[in-house]
Amino acid sequence: MSVIPQDLARSKKKHDRLAVVVILLWFVAIVDWFLTGKLPVWMTAIFLIGAAGYAGFRVWQTSRRPDGSPLALNFQFSVLYVSLWPLLVWGTDAIEFREASVEFARWGTGGLFCLGLAWFVWAMEKASQRFEALRRMAAQNPDPDRRRALAAAASPTKRSWHPLDINAWYYGRQSPRLRQSLTGLMSYSLLFTLVFLICSQINGCQELYEMPAGGGVQQTLAQTVRVQKVIRKKFVVNPFSSILFKVPPIDEIKLELTEITKHAYTVGYGEGEGSGFAGGKKGAKVRFIRLEYAGGDWDQDFGIGSDLNILAEYNVRTTQPVAAQTESRTIEQLRNFPLGSSPPMVFMTGQGNISISSAQVKILREYLIDKHGMLFIDNGGSQHFHNQVIGMMRNILPQVRPAPIPLDDVIHRIPYQIPFLPYVAPHGGKESLGWRVDGRLVCYYHPGDIADAWADDHAGVSPEIWEACYQLGTNVIFYAHTEYSKWLSSRSKASK
């Protein structure tokens, strides 16, 4: 039997104590992220990066040891995964790469399931081997008393109920190992799903949408007219000339009328300081979220070149802070946003089919009614898509009928007065349609490629059209956030 040197034992104890401290700090950061959000960002970053760095160091240390076991190395790799995954999700969200954050969360959860399943299968196999070893020892032991004790430990006299015992009565006599494996897989999957659903009810597993704090006035932007005097010709006339003719104006001028938008007030809603919304949060930003759905091309003109352009234009035109990137969410992911912190608006476009299940219909109805959200739908290129939108909304809101939205509606007047409905091509007619609940627009449908006009090349339309499309997009985003701010204020007053 080898004796461990004292210095090696002390080093091991030191590493164990350090590991306990790192685990505790990592746990504090995770709990704060999930529940409270009280820690400063820099402190959370230090705790998460430190835990991932220490796990990586232990992997490197174990891999270099000549006597290191593969089991210990696999365990260290598992710990590294568990510490690195939350860091990637939290870090990408903190720097506003929310699309990457969602993907890390989605694929990371799948990886965690597979990792846990691998260790679960290993534990089942080790336990089964232990039962088999006890039975062999019982059969080979010459001492009758010892043999009976081992046999009792391996398999009680009555029918075995232990799930790790392959001879348990409910596995039967035919293919017991296969049945044990299938039972283990289903049990693990059910347990993982239950834990995931429980976590999804905790704030940290939920997503939060927070509007920028501030205030402003909900009215049409003031406009001024600039008169520019341009001298086109000059005449020199001799008043003593014997030739009489009609004297032209000394200066022939042209009046050039140029409309200039002038911010005569702060664009927003409420009495807060700066451009923003009552009920918002300091440091929060307006985000542009596109809805993913099955059956069609939900990602038409997605991201840079269209969505990002309207987001940037919204920032310039309202001076409200906006996110650095655009995002997308599935219909199911709308459930992750809690009441009072969900997106005021999600954008949807395409030109093919819209395939949504009855469960997704329920989620969208809850989003529009209970969570006070709004759908901004753009027909990306076909009459078929128009019919798909009408059918989808009939399923979501069966008691509400669409109606044309007049140009004097508030959504067409604030903050910009829209003199005509701009479009690239009238795939679904020449009027915008709206679905209203209690007077509020819960869905704004644009019939003709407004997202194409937002693109870098503006789909080849005239400046008058794409400028009006930017103005209309600004109006819809502002309308959704203003209505959401009013709702938050009314809920706050009702709770007092």
CATH number, domain at 425? 3.40.50.12140
Q: How many domains does the chain have?
A: 2
Whether residue 426 sits in one domain with residue 294: yes
Euclidean distance between CA atoms 373 and 211, whole angstroms: 13
Q: How many CB atoms lie within 10 A of CB 51?
A: 25
Of the three residues 200, 232, 267, the one that is the final residue of a domain is: 200
Whether residue 167 sits in one domain with residue 47: yes
In which element (H, E) is residue 403 found? Answer: strand 403-404
Q: Which domain holds residue 146?
A: 6-200
Over its length of 496 residues, how does the chain's per-residue pLDDT go in tens digits?
444 556 556 666 776 788 888 889 998 888 877 766 678 888 989 999 999 999 998 888 888 887 667 888 888 899 999 999 889 988 887 776 766 777 788 788 888 899 988 888 888 778 777 766 766 665 555 666 665 565 555 554 456 666 666 667 666 667 776 777 787 788 888 888 888 777 665 544 567 899 999 988 888 876 544 444 444 555 555 555 555 555 555 444 444 444 444 455 788 898 888 899 998 988 899 999 999 999 888 988 786 678 999 999 999 999 999 998 888 999 998 988 989 999 999 999 999 999 999 999 999 999 999 999 999 999 988 899 999 999 999 999 999 999 999 999 999 999 999 999 999 998 888 999 999 999 999 999 999 899 999 999 988 999 999 999 999 999 999 999 999 999 999 888 877 6
List the structure tokens of 305.
């070149």
Read off the amino acid at residue 160.
S
- Using the structure block, give the residue that is written with the tokens 């898509």: 385
Q: Does 128 map to a domain? A: yes
Q: Does 247 map to a domain? A: no
**Residue 288 and residue 323 in contact, taking contact as beta carbons nearer than 8 Å:** yes
Whether residue 361 sits in one domain with residue 476: yes
Q: Does 270 map to a domain? A: no
List the structure tokens of 272.
């807060």
Euclidean distance between CA atoms 370 and 364, whole angstroms: 10
Q: Does 64 map to a domain? A: yes
Give the pLDDT of residue 35: 67
Cα separation values, 3 from 7, 13, 17, 433, Å:
12, 16, 22, 82
Strand partners for 254? 230
Of the three residues 200, 219, 239, the one that is the final residue of a domain is: 200
List the structure tokens of 269.
């809603």
The packing angle between helices 144-154 and 98-140, to 10°, is: 150
Phi-psi region of 234 (alpha: psi -120 to 50; beta: other; left: phi over 0): beta
Q: What is the 3-state secondary structure (H, E, C) of 210-273?
A: CCEECEEECCCCCEEEEEEEEEEEECCCCCCCCCCCCCCCCEEEEEEEEEEECCCCCECEEECC
Q: Does 75 map to a domain? A: yes
Whether residue 479 sits in one domain with residue 358: yes
**Residue 93 and residue 101 in contact, taking contact as beta carbons nearer than 8 Å:** yes
DSSP conformation letters of 176-190: HHHHHHHHHHHHHHH
**Residue 432 and residue 447 in contact, taking contact as beta carbons nearer than 8 Å:** yes
Give the pLDDT of residue 424: 93
Euclidean distance between CA atoms 139 and 133, whole angstroms: 10
Whether residue 180 sits in one domain with residue 291: no
- Contacts of 439 by beta carbon, 8 Å cutoff, 6+ apart: none
Whether residue 310 sits in one domain with residue 183: no
Whether residue 165 sits in one domain with residue 290: no
Whether residue 358 sits in one domain with residue 480: yes
Of the three residues 158, 181, 200, the one that is the final residue of a domain is: 200
Q: Does 430 map to a domain? A: yes
- Contacts of 459 by beta carbon, 8 Å cutoff, 6+ apart: 424, 449, 452, 453, 466
**Residue 369 and residue 340 in contact, taking contact as beta carbons nearer than 8 Å:** no
Read off the amino acid at residue 474.
T
Q: Residue 211 has what DSSP assignment?
A: P
When computed from its CA atoms, the radius of gyration of the chain, rounded to whole angstroms, is 34
Euclidean distance between CA atoms 444 and 112, whole angstroms: 40
Q: Residue 112 has what DSSP assignment?
A: H
How many residues appear in the chain? 496
Euclidean distance between CA atoms 198 and 363, whole angstroms: 18
Give the pLDDT of residue 156: 47
List the structure tokens of 166.
């392959």
Q: Three-state SS for 270?
A: strand
Q: Does 267 map to a domain? A: no
Judged on CB neighbours under 10 Å (0-12, 13-18, 19+), 216 is buried
Q: How remote is the C-alpha of 94 from its chain's centroid?
A: 13
List the structure tokens of 47.
């705790």
Whether residue 304 sits in one domain with residue 160: no
Q: Does 246 map to a domain? A: no
